Structure 1
Amino acid sequence: QYSSSTAIATFDWHRWLREYLPMLQARSKWLDVKRNLQPGDLVLVNSTDTERFLAKAIVKQVYYDQDGRDRTVRLKTATQEVERDKKRMFVGRSRQFEGSRYDKSTW
């Protein structure tokens, strides 16, 4: 019973990653200019070392390339600070559109 429920959960997780999550990532490369990430933005981090888990993180610092586009960011998760490529995360709510800052009680 445990192995069958684990198999179902893994199947659902991979299906969710394959079908729903790509809709959250913008794919229109050069046609539509998007806003750069800013410190305080909430993102979901896609980590390859953890199965069935997306960590919430807040952007602490943004690193830009020669074109002025954000490529790499320093993130603060619940347990650590890490640097990640923008391709490995999904943008959640923006500080620009929220009335208040995020506090640790939401973690």
Structure 2
Amino acid sequence: MTYVIAQPCVDVKDKACIDECPVDCIYEGPRKMYINPDECVDCGACEPVCPVEAIFYEDSLPVEWSPYRTADQEVFIPLGAPGGASSVPPLAADHPVVASAPVSEPS
């Protein structure tokens, strides 16, 4: 099991979660942050600092955002587990679930 970043993060990317992650497993995509499930240690440090409440333990992910579980897994297939987000540039593309999401306007 791991944590998942869901729809509320799309077009927000506050990045407070990055500062709290002790294992550097949160990667930046063009529209959303992603947790690498192979690197996440399930510590939960990222969840309470997310200002839009987009981070969920995998088993607690709301049903309407279940495609984001797959997105956070599949986006890392070509990348694997590089050993930390700070060692690689931001992801070149979002997962199709995120890329197809309506653009959120800043409030």
Structure 1 length as normaliser, TM-score?
0.25
Higher normalized strand content (fraction of residues) = 1
Structure 2 length as normaliser, TM-score?
0.25
- Highest relative contact order (Cα 8 Å, sep 6+), 1 or 2? 2
